[in-house]
Structure 1
């Protein structure tokens, strides 16, 4: 009779838990479906690779090796113990039940016990990292839900061992210290309580385990653990193609009422999956240059605020569905109405929730404009969330729909539209940087047989410091016998900064004009010293029709060295610390060629900052920040310069005119410009080449 009562209770509790679980998960599905359908490219191989490498392989998590190993154990341990969970549940109805594995069952038992023990160790280590070591990124968000996860998982693992231990006592068996070492110890310790007490304790911990499993199942989709459900979907459905490539806006769409995203439901469904996939691990904010220097932007909080806003708004919009969980509502009045149910309550539910504006109430404009678009957040994210495209989409709404932007951004757009450069300098002065070098730096009209188009960019054309980089690179190409030419006054701005500041219309206008110019002169290969132009030409222009090979000047220089066309022979006695620019590094995974160049120069002692390669800190100039004042916290370029100075260099090397400007300003601010030079890679190698 007790067995039947136990079975009835189990079925009732399990059924209700499953009902709640599917309600919540289905509601999240409905909320995501509110978004716009994205353009979906199958690219099955790339998508499956993303799931295998970053999902099952946990690649991003191992950027922090300690946390990576801990999470790896918990991830796979959780799957493994679910097999044992089935056996444990059956034990509650069939005393002494074991899977019919014969002699192999003892090995199954051994695996389950060690997996459970290792999971418990992993949980305790996670507790230590958060509450003992107080790991910085885990202190970013301290709420009760984090503690609930640790309590639930600890209870889950301990109850397994206690259930198995007291089963041994209940059955009067001898403890097995070989194949059931941990439950065996428990059985040995409590063997004196007798079979009756052992039976009671077996069922107590059996129920504790079952209720913990079911409660945690209902808790998961409402907490940060929701990433356990959404992460693999996020990895599969993420955008394919070049990382960081922004969505194209169709300005020919006559039905479009706004450009950019001003409401949460105007993001794509793929972007909304990101919100529920977030693991709240803090890796993104921990590496963010804006957050690290006291700005209001926190990539993690941005995602979480958007997630909560989607949940609230989604609950109000979809309140007519009978699947809507009552605890999705945060508003007390809405809770009451949802509990009452009925069609008549639906309109009241919607009315009871006054939705805040996405931009202004949920996400502040200061947060949006603080972003440098460096992608450090995205590179760190273990579930590959994309923060930058959401920020840019909201910037687009401010700029193109509402006409709201910082004064510096407005001035930038005006200067680009009027004169084709950020300073508003006469467009006909773009070619003046080559004065005195006309014999080796020719325009496409003067040298129609060119092989490589040298895209100088606005910085190289107008900024006096960057002009020196352009001239050094031109001399090196001439020395190596490269047949190159420039567009001269026909060159326009690449539009990269305009795009990331939110002015997609201006970007597309410049993009179209530049591609037409390239086609007019039959451009087949483009080289540039500007990583931002390099990235947009290589990864974004092809969507608009560009068909040309695009290389960065450090790539070309590295190739010329390998081919023996450039031979650095003069010693350059310098201790060089190299700064990885974001648009060469994280956007295009180019880390080797600049270092290969420096290693090839005799006398160079190559140093590395604490944060280098994919972990390198942004200089602070990206995302249009080059042209805007920093009014919050400390300056990003100062923070990066201080990192460089920690290794006591005599020279800071760069591969980007924006970075070089920011680092030069940093050395001046730190009053070390006389002791520490700031040079581009091209300028450094030029010192070693005989002309």
Structure 2
């Protein structure tokens, strides 16, 4: 048995194993230490109080944030302790943060144990447990997790300063980021040096071998022959370097650095250790799917001042760690639009802090000038929710962004193209400005008549949508879906001219009252119809009908003479009416045998693009894929798929606005399909399940010079082709 193994065995067999907590510290030093401790705690508590007092000054949040608090805390603890959001898209970053978090929490708990043992047991109960097996286990775990902590900090330093990961650097990068990471590094390394010097200076007790990092450092000090006071000719007089003097110096250096860090936490970046957890606890589990309703009070303001922001939006600002994950996945930033989600949140925070320090007030958001946020920045947002999905601390960017967009609308600082869209919707009920009477003209080429859901009872009320009704390319998709439902022999109908634009994207651009007008019209129309399920062609319609219409308090607006509806109830608040995207409905029909697909009708090599409002918004990824595979197509995934899907660029009003961008999001996505999938250039068809995506990618195919490389098709078009192929095969069998 080697020497280390023997020492370990000796350590485990000892019954009285412990150490003196304040070894080498005089009574005066002891008193100074606790005076500094009291001051540090007071400074820390005052800082935390100031932070939360500021949140209390924020506006009320429209959503319940602290209901079911025990459940929220448990769920938040799971999210934070598992580091699940840190591991998403970034294994290195996930491991790094996990090492730091788990190590830090272990060291914190270890410190609390020392304090509890010192005072609660020795002084109050006269019962000491910090000895024997408990002490040995304690020392081993602390060394193991402390080492993990130092490794994690080292990984962070390597990524930040050696690799210089781009997303970690930006205009809000400052000295506080450097102080934060190097202070943590100093605490971790300093703690091990202190432990090694203590073990060495106390004669390297056998049981301390369990403190394997500290013991290793003690062996290094021994090899360096650092003198000890007990040795002949060595004293503790000033100026003499001994192990005891070095321990004293390390002890006070470590303590003072710890005092600084604790006192600094509420005033700078380390506060995210508190605010981030609070942010996860108070998150809205349907964030992004639904937006806060605007008050019916016309005197209410949206973002005229920082005081218009809710306490949760202020907490979002403080929870931001500057990690840049939101920036790295933002399609607007990738296309060189003037939007960086991180900068918007931190610009608002910096402005708030400048006001608290006596700075001058400025417009929060405006078109040019001295505003905190420029109008062009907010116009660039595609409302794709990638930033929120990537954020490890659950910042709800879209809530703040929508507030800013509403303010732009109130001020009249809206893109001229969007103003035209608003006008079209107000006058004609659709974004094209076409006559409502023409809304169902797309069905003229069908070989069967569509049922009027206003006059007959149907199982499925089909909301066709603007683009499938008026856009020539998307009319083909509408006819395909109609043929699918007819082939399945289901009862379905449409609203004809009583169907209007759903309002999803004009709401995200800030035109809330127009959205309420559209919602009121639709729910009032639906109340006069008999149906079981609303089927949507467009994921944007699906999201707003399923998640946002039920949130509208129509009674607040019904008496407004500008609102063309008398509906006063809360629509579908009990969830009695099912709202589904058409792929979910057709997938059920295939599974139920209402549509016969053998799975080998088509042999195309395809890739599929997840629409933001179907995927990230509503977590539906499988229904479209199962339909594609049911047609026999060979599906190859792009690297960015499902929750990591890259936006087409059409959301948040992007469909109607023009941007100076290079490359366009649609062009980048088509490049990914042809260059980054395993099938590469063999991809024949780029499959979508959203009319907006169809429009954006048809445009990107032209502007990106991909016209000869692949075809843009909807899932419905593949299904119709497969049904036709199946029918032909059945006919051939019958003829034979």
TM-score of the two chains, using structure 1 as the length reference = 0.89
2:30 is matched with which residue?
7
2:185 is matched with which residue?
154
Deviations 1:2-49 (A, max 9, x none): 723212321232233223222322222222222112245314476245
1-structure distance, mates of 2:510, 2:78: 33
- For the residue of structure 1 that corresponds to 2:597, the secondary structure is coil
Correspondence 1:35 to 2:78: no
1-structure distance, mates of 2:25, 2:402: 62
Does the CA-based 8 Å contact 1:170-1:199 persist in structure 2? yes
Deviations 1:452-473 (A, max 9, x none): 0110011111011111101100
2:691 is matched with which residue?
657
Q: 1:674 to 1:173 in 2, by over 3 A?
A: closer
2-structure distance, mates of 1:19, 1:103: 36
Does the CA-based 8 Å contact 1:609-1:643 persist in structure 2? yes
**Shift of residue 174, structure 1, vs aligned partner:** 4.0
**Shift of residue 129, structure 1, vs aligned partner:** 1.5
Correspondence 1:185 to 2:216: yes
Does the CA-based 8 Å contact 1:577-1:609 persist in structure 2? yes
Question: More deviation in 100-109 or 288-297?
Answer: 100-109
1:571 is matched with which residue?
601
Which structure has the greater CA radius of gyration?
2
2:156 is matched with which residue?
126
1:396 is matched with which residue?
406
**Shift of residue 309, structure 1, vs aligned partner:** 1.5
Deviations 1:50-76 (A, max 9, x none): 413322222211102221122112112
1:469 is matched with which residue?
477
**Shift of residue 438, structure 1, vs aligned partner:** 6.5
**Shift of residue 173, structure 1, vs aligned partner:** 2.8
Correspondence 1:26 to 2:49: yes
1:600 is matched with which residue?
630
Correspondence 1:368 to 2:388: no
- Structure 1, gaps ≥5 residues long: 316-328, 330-349
1-structure distance, mates of 2:502, 2:486: 25
Q: 1:40 to 1:450 in 2, by over 3 A?
A: closer
Correspondence 1:289 to 2:331: yes
**Shift of residue 424, structure 1, vs aligned partner:** 0.8
1:219 is matched with which residue?
264
**Shift of residue 688, structure 1, vs aligned partner:** 0.7
1-structure distance, mates of 2:686, 2:57: 49
Does the CA-based 8 Å contact 1:577-1:608 persist in structure 2? yes
**Shift of residue 86, structure 1, vs aligned partner:** 5.1
Number of equivalences: 647
Does the CA-based 8 Å contact 1:43-1:240 persist in structure 2? no
1:358 is matched with which residue?
364
2-structure distance, mates of 1:364, 1:377: 19
Q: Which of residues 418, 422, 438 is equivalent to 1:413?
A: 422
Deviations 1:310-334 (A, max 9, x none): 2222x2xxxxxxxxxxxxx3xxxxx
2:730 is matched with which residue?
none
2-structure distance, mates of 1:593, 1:49: 32
Q: Which of residues 230, 233, 247 is equivalent to 2:278?
A: 233
2-structure distance, mates of 1:43, 1:245: 20
2:198 is matched with which residue?
167
2-structure distance, mates of 1:474, 1:665: 25
Q: 1:269 to 1:398 in 2, by over 3 A?
A: same
- For the residue of structure 1 that corresponds to 2:634, the secondary structure is strand
Does the CA-based 8 Å contact 2:466-2:501 persist in structure 1? yes
2-structure distance, mates of 1:91, 1:431: 78
2-structure distance, mates of 1:279, 1:651: 41
Does the CA-based 8 Å contact 2:542-2:580 persist in structure 1? yes
2-structure distance, mates of 1:84, 1:596: 51
2:700 is matched with which residue?
666
2:566 is matched with which residue?
none
Does the CA-based 8 Å contact 1:416-1:493 persist in structure 2? yes
2-structure distance, mates of 1:98, 1:312: 50
Does the CA-based 8 Å contact 2:610-2:641 persist in structure 1? yes
2:560 is matched with which residue?
none
2:300 is matched with which residue?
258
Correspondence 1:206 to 2:206: no
1:319 is matched with which residue?
none
Q: 1:82 to 1:443 in 2, by over 3 A?
A: same
2-structure distance, mates of 1:280, 1:555: 38
RMSD of aligned Cα (Å):
2.3
Does the CA-based 8 Å contact 2:477-2:714 persist in structure 1? yes
- For the residue of structure 1 that corresponds to 2:487, the secondary structure is helix
Does the CA-based 8 Å contact 2:424-2:431 persist in structure 1? yes
2:141 is matched with which residue?
111
Correspondence 1:387 to 2:429: no
2-structure distance, mates of 1:370, 1:492: 26
2-structure distance, mates of 1:637, 1:91: 62
2:639 is matched with which residue?
610
Instruction: Write the mapping of 1:88-103 to structure 2, written as runs, cut at 5 A.
Output: 100-103=130-133
1-structure distance, mates of 2:192, 2:381: 49
1:685 is matched with which residue?
719
Deviations 1:256-309 (A, max 9, x none): 523422221111111111111111110000000111111111111111111111
Does the CA-based 8 Å contact 1:177-1:185 persist in structure 2? no
2:82 is matched with which residue?
57
- For the residue of structure 1 that corresponds to 2:111, the secondary structure is helix
2-structure distance, mates of 1:276, 1:242: 18
**Shift of residue 444, structure 1, vs aligned partner:** 1.7
2-structure distance, mates of 1:183, 1:601: 64
Instruction: Write the mapping of 1:469-508 to structure 2, written as runs, cut at 5 A.
Output: 469-508=477-516
Deviations 1:514-571 (A, max 9, x none): 0000001133311011000000000011123332210101111111111111122463
1:460 is matched with which residue?
468
Q: 1:99 to 1:366 in 2, by over 3 A?
A: farther
1-structure distance, mates of 2:290, 2:473: 29
Does the CA-based 8 Å contact 2:615-2:642 persist in structure 1? yes
2-structure distance, mates of 1:242, 1:380: 13
Q: Which of residues 583, 605, 611 is equivalent to 1:581?
A: 611
Correspondence 1:269 to 2:311: yes
Question: More deviation in 268-277 or 529-538?
Answer: 268-277
- For the residue of structure 1 that corresponds to 2:610, the secondary structure is coil
2-structure distance, mates of 1:562, 1:439: 25
1-structure distance, mates of 2:270, 2:386: 23
